[in-house]
Structure 1
């Protein structure tokens, strides 16, 4: 008779996989490493996640949900100030890039690790990035941007550059000007100036 997984088994796997994937990249981590670090049997791991691809996709879905919970909370703190709401999302990305042990954005990193558009990890990563782009566009519209699509794309370039630069050269390298660059872009596109210090 098959053993019933203990409560919290899936959570335990996800916590270990998340740390390993963030620290080493997805391709560098094998299922045996996840098994070893969780202390679980192989059958328990594969019962929860029948393949590494499914584990990667589940990790990215959970990372996406966590990111948007934090992001929407940051945005909602500025209800009534649409320009500040837009700027809050950029600030949040800068804060994450300054966090200790930052190795880059897991969504950008994973999308680059897997070039096949049908790979579950790449699909989840790109879904997050498209959602980010769309959220910036909507926030730009709410802030009165004359060309919200252009503003969203420009801010995506700033955010992507911020993540890559911070991972490679640290937060005190070129990433340090990302927030002021985003503020300049928002000022150029929106009729009401962005109040970064507000």
Structure 2
């Protein structure tokens, strides 16, 4: 069972998130996190028994952020087709302009399928795909899974180009691409074979 959140725990996780997002998980040692969080080694290890536990908490935080974004999208009250566009807009508003998707980066840094960080990242991808497929199934698209996969491909591109183009530029392009894809996919479902 996860320990209850404390101010120290959140401060350490904030510091780790900042460093992991900027430099990657493997490039950041525990001492650097201690220095950034301005805490002692004992406190860090009281809150997180290992670096693996800290990395897993970091990934879970990323997942909670995704769920909040999805909930905001669903609460918008617009038709499902527009919810898909809104989801990508919200993601685009929050894409870091440095290293790309923190989950995907961590997934690549831990290729061993048995590693907790790899598994947490893999689980996140499965949940995200399932949720986007569910949202796409509410549209009139003939193949909601294909629509969801195309949208996720655009989202991945949005994250991966963050260090090359401006985040604002990327977000605008991604939103328009999703509008186009949704229009094509939902229009195709109305065509007579």
Structure-2 change in CA distance of 1:31 and 1:124 (3 Å): same
The question of 1:188 aligning with 2:187 is answered no
TM (norm. structure 2) is: 0.85
Q: Secondary structure at the match of 2:94?
A: helix
Which residue is 1:196 aligned to?
Answer: none
Q: Secondary structure at the match of 1:169?
A: coil
Give the number of equivalent residue pairs: 183
Which residue is 1:77 aligned to?
Answer: 76
Please list, as runs of the form range in 1=range in 2, the aligned pairs for 1:23-38 lying within 5 A after superposition: 23-38=22-37
Which residue is 1:58 aligned to?
Answer: 57
Please list, as runs of the form range in 1=range in 2, the aligned pairs for 1:34-183 lying within 5 A after superposition: 34-79=33-78, 81-97=79-95, 101-171=97-167, 176-183=172-179
Q: Deviations over 1:84-133 (max 9, x none)?
A: 11221111222223x5x443111111112211112212222222222221
Partner Cα distance (2:38, 2:92) in 1: 35
1:154: how far off?
1.1
TM (norm. structure 1) is: 0.83
Which residue is 2:8 aligned to?
Answer: 9
User: Which segments of 5 or more consecutive residues in structure 1 lack a partner in the other structure?
Assistant: 1-6, 193-198
Q: Deviations over 1:164-194 (max 9, x none)?
A: 01223333666652222211111111149xx
Partner Cα distance (1:41, 1:174) in 2: 40
Query: Are the counterparts in 1 of residues 92 and 170 from structure 2 also a CA contact under 8 Å?
Result: no
Partner Cα distance (1:167, 1:190) in 2: 32
Q: Deviations over 1:39-69 (max 9, x none)?
A: 2221221121111011000111022112211
Post-superposition, which runs of at least 4 consecutive aligned residues in structure 1 deviate over 4 A?
Answer: 172-176
Q: Secondary structure at the match of 2:113?
A: coil
User: Which segments of 5 or more consecutive residues in structure 2 lack a partner in the other structure?
Assistant: 1-5, 189-193
Partner Cα distance (1:134, 1:166) in 2: 25
Structure-2 change in CA distance of 1:175 and 1:82 (3 Å): closer
Structure-2 change in CA distance of 1:63 and 1:51 (3 Å): same
